[in-house]
A and B are shown apart, each in its own frame.
Chain A
Amino acid sequence: MSPETANLEEIVAQVPPARGVVEPLPPVNAEGEQLLEISMGPHHPSTHGVFRMNVVLEGEQVVRLKPVFGYLHRNHEKIAENAAYLAAIPYTDRLDYLCSMTNNWGYALAVEKLAGIGVPERAEYIRVIVAELTRLQNHASLIGFLMQDMGMSGTPLMYAFREREKILDLFESLSGARMMCNYMRFGGVRVDTSAEWLRQVRELNGEFPRFLDEFESLLAGNEILMGRAQGVGVLSPELAVSSGASGPMLRASGVNYDVRKVDGYGVYDRFSFRVPLGDHGDVYDRYMMRVLEMRESVKILEQAVRDIPAGPIMDPKARLRGLRPKAGEAYGRIESPKGELGFYLISDGTGNPYRYRVRPPSLINLTVLEDMCLGRGVADVVVILGSVDIVLGEVDR
């Protein structure tokens, strides 16, 4: 991985114009022969949930792929528009159910912008700690799932889940729930961390590199992994930028764009960490991106746990009930483990948002699935989809 690659502006200048609406083609090839259409999903184990792909094959090769979403649609946005601002927080837990902490943060950030609520220093540090822990467990389990998609049975997944379990235990002792944490509030966090909890984080963080080394010796140099991942599902930086992809997927294509660096939201501008970048934009780079990001997260955690100040965890002006921001709009975005997670809110001065919109990174990263899969075999589709890192709760909302 070279640290220095083309920056965003240069790439944007080279982005080709949009293709416009593409009419669906009949499933025949140039000679008029019938092609094979298969429907993968919605109950396919590799789709990580309920997701369907209509794949058109010529021989073994994918010539067309149409993703079909919506099997897990729960009307999240409209529910939030009909509820008080506070009531939407537990629903955001259920968007990307692996990363409830970062979802909470994205929403809290949008409301704080909308209503002009500040966040005390200690709460900002706690948010960084839980968000980076979330990133660790998300990336670890993603690699496990990806390896399972490649047919390496369950070993890497089990190792990843063993580590994830420790992080979930920490979340449980802090927030009361392992996955549906419902932890952040506008203007702070719900409960304070104890010194003992911080000690446990430090201990876990100290052990985590050992796990990463173990993972590396298990996988790095593995011929199956390299054969299945290198050169597969290449995403060019131009396409990545023009499609709006974000997160590790965008950076694997060599685009230096991380909302933590760009916005410096929270207190991220105080930590020294690097943004790993890929060279090829293939599945292998996306896998490496996760490994390297975990190492950076370990560094951030180290600094955050060391520097966390004492103080209040809630802004004194923040109120739990009856929040009525004055009319206006706000967009809060964070770097969730999957990419740029944004919440867009319009207030009309009443107790519930007039418009509530989620920008889910998984959905937008999925839109380039066809471009990555063309010309590859069906088995590669599974691996490419796995490397995108989707959670259907977030894609369908």
Chain B
Amino acid sequence: MLGIGIIQGLVETARNFFGSYTSKQRLTTVQFPDERLIQPEAARVFPFLVYDTDDWEKGLRCVACKICEVECPPQCISITKSADKKPDYSGIYSGKPQFYPEKFDIDVSVCMSCQICVEVCPFEAIKMDNAFELSTDDRFGGLMWDKQRLAMPNSHYQAIHPTDAAESDAALAEKKAKAEAKPAAAAAAAPAKPAPEKAGAATER
């Protein structure tokens, strides 16, 4: 009979409609912004610059090597390297003074959240943030983020991406231990210093 198929379909629709009162699986709408989904750990939106210690300017890990500027696909990073060097506040360059970015701007209206800057940075200095409610009514200045706006403490990174942060901290600690072991090995006397506490925090993935 003509129409059987349609009725059959409507039965399925009705089952879903009434089912949505009982089955959580059928009721998928989340009432944003009152309800929010938990973002997965891997979520990425825009990059930020990591700093250690509690001074954002002195503790920036970035050494203005410009690798990310070159590799960024839409070329939205713009860096000016400093003329002088700043002391190693973050403690990851074995005390050697480093260059620092005099200017580090990211045009977030151009950034495509691809994470390539994070992958290519050899110094664990740039990471992805997961904050997404970032609209602004200032379309020029408000979308060009300078290094102050971009700077975030390492604790923030540990909070939003615990697994990755543990890996990154472990890698830095290992690097540091190696750097410290080198003069020690040359002297062939003092035993290598034990890796700092953080290394133990690395978790299996």
A residues bordering B, Cβ < 8 Å? 83-84, 86-91, 155, 159, 162, 165, 169, 172-177, 180, 182, 190-192, 194, 214, 217-226, 320-321
Contact = CB atoms under 8 A, between A and B. Distances in A.
Given A218-B13, A320-B120, A90 B205 contact: no
B44 A177 contact: yes
CB-based closest 5 A-B pairs: A221-B5, A90-B114, A173-B40, A87-B73, A176-B42
B119 interface: yes
Contacts of A224: 6
B112 A321 contact: no
Contact of B119 (A218, A221, A320): A320
Interface of B: 2-6, 8-9, 11-13, 16, 26, 28, 40-44, 67, 71-73, 112-116, 119-120, 128, 205
A116 B152 CA distance: 40
B71 A182 contact: no
Contacts of B128: 176
A84 B6 CA distance: 54
Contact of B120 (A83, A190, A321): A321
Contacts of B26: 162
A185 to B, nearest CB: 9
Contact of B9 (A172, A182, A218): A218
A177 to B, nearest CB: 6
Contacts of B12: 214, 217-218
B3 A182 contact: no
A190 B114 CA distance: 12
Contacts of B40: 169, 172-173, 176
A320 B5 CA distance: 54
Contacts of A86: 71, 116
B9 A217 contact: yes
Contacts of B119: 190, 320
A321 B71 contact: yes
Contacts of B67: 321
Contacts of B5: 220-223, 225-226
A172 B42 contact: yes
24 contacts: A83-B73, A88-B73, A89-B114, A90-B114, A90-B116, A91-B73, A155-B13, A176-B43, A177-B43, A177-B44, A180-B112, A180-B113, A180-B114, A192-B205, A217-B9, A218-B12, A219-B9, A221-B5, A222-B9, A223-B4, A223-B5, A226-B5, A320-B120, A321-B71
Contacts of A320: 119-120
Contacts of A174: 42
Contacts of A221: 4-5, 8
Nearest to A165: B28
A248 B73 CA distance: 33
Contacts of B120: 320-321
Scoring B67, B73, B128 by chain A CB atoms within 10 A of each residue's CB, the highest score goes to B73
A182 B114 contact: yes
B71 to A, nearest CB: 6
Contacts of A222: 5-6, 8-9
A91 B11 CA distance: 44
Given A176-B43, A182-B114, A223-B2, 20 more contacts: A86-B71, A87-B71, A87-B116, A89-B114, A162-B26, A172-B42, A173-B41, A173-B42, A176-B42, A176-B115, A176-B128, A177-B44, A177-B113, A180-B113, A180-B114, A182-B116, A218-B8, A220-B5, A221-B4, A321-B67
A287 B22 CA distance: 32
B13 A90 contact: no
Nearest to B128: A176
B38 to A, nearest CB: 10
B73 A223 contact: no
A218 B128 CA distance: 43
A173 B115 CA distance: 15
A90 B28 CA distance: 30
Given A87-B71, A175-B42, A191-B42, A159 B16 contact: yes
Contacts of B8: 217-218, 221-222
A85 to B, nearest CB: 11
A191 B44 CA distance: 14
Contacts of A225: 5
A226 B119 CA distance: 51
Nearest to A91: B73
B71 A84 contact: yes
In this complex, the member of A159, A173, A176, A177 whose beta carbon has the largest number of chain B beta carbons within 10 angstroms is A176
Contacts of A182: 114-116
B146 to A, nearest CB: 24
Nearest to B120: A321
Nearest to B10: A218
A190 B164 CA distance: 13
A220 B4 CA distance: 11
